[in-house]
């Protein structure tokens, strides 16, 4: 079996990361928003939005489904690509954990297809979409651990604040043998 990717945790701003792929927790319209999505479009410049509009004008006329992933240029960011993936909105009534796991799985599958070695993820769905950080961290780490994605050798979770960092750290510590 292929070697699993190393999981790395950092505290910081994902737009300042040097990685082959930066993952954007987008929405299904693919046309930008607040949070990380807004920050990526601001830092990466108008080329990213232009690429998203082109996707809407071609294969993704109705937008991108929750849990799916699509790649564009990274514009002015140092990454080679931005992968956009709309996470699910947190719900107490419905278990949408499978969709959140799908965001990580599909983004990694696509990153591997693009030949990426390093992939940076934020904590998808834990901001505007309201997912509790401990559960989101568990899903994120377990999904990445589940399978290998050669040639991806490093999956980096970029956590914006200390609380998010600590939650990911405790899941990682519990799953590292």
Positions in the binding site for ligand AR6 (CB under 6 A): 13-15, 25-27, 33-37, 39, 87, 122-129, 158, 160, 164
Count helices and strands in the chain by DSSP H and E runs: 5, 6
Nearer to ligand AR6, 36 or 101 (CB): 36
Residue 45 CA to residue 103 CA, distance in Å, equals: 24
138 to 25, 103, 133: CA distances (angstroms): 17, 14, 9
Q: Would strands 21-26 and 154-159 be described as parallel, antiparallel, or unpaired?
A: unpaired
Place of tokens 């990274």: 74
Q: How far is the CB of 168 from ligand AR6 (least distance, A)?
A: 10
- Whether 80 is a known active-site residue: answer no
Q: Which residues pair with residue 119 across a beta bridge?
A: 21, 155
Compare residues 11 and 150 and give the one whose CB is closer to ligand AR6: 11
Set 13, 20, 37, 161: catalytic member: 37
**Shortest Cβ 96–ligand AR6 spacing (Å):** 12
Q: How far apart are CA 9 and CA 129, in angstroms?
A: 22
CB 6 → ligand AR6: shortest distance, Å?
19
Q: Give, in degrees to the nearest 5, the angle at Cα 123 between 138 and 142.
A: 25
Beta strands in the chain (DSSP E): 6-11, 21-26, 70-73, 81-86, 118-121, 154-159
Nearer Cβ to ligand AR6 (12/115)? 12
Q: Which is nearer to ligand AR6, 25 or 67 (CB)?
A: 25
Closest approach of Cβ 167 to ligand AR6, in Å?
A: 10
Which residues have a catalytic role annotated? 37
């Amino acid at each position: 079996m292929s070697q699993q990717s190393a999981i790395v945790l950092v505290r910081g701003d994902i737009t300042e990361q040097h990685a082959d792929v930066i993952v954007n927790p987008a929405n299904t319209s693919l046309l930008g928003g607040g949070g990380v999505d807004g920050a990526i479009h601001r830092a990466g410049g108008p080329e990213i939005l232009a690429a998203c509009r082109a996707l809407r004008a071609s294969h993704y006329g109705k937008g991108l489904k929750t849990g799916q992933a699509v790649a564009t240029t990274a514009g002015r960011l140092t990454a080679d690509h931005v992968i956009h993936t709309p996470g699910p909105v947190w719900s107490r009534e419905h278990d949408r954990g499978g969709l959140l796991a799908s965001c990580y799985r599909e983004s990694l599958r696509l990153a591997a297809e693009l030949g990426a070695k390093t992939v940076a993820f934020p904590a998808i769905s834990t901001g505007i979409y309201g997912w509790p950080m401990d559960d989101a961290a568990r899903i994120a780490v377990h999904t990445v651990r589940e399978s290998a994605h050669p040639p991806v050798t490093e999956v980096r979770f970029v956590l914006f604040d200390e609380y998010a960092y600590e939650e990911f750290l405790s899941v990682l510590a519990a799953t590292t043998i």
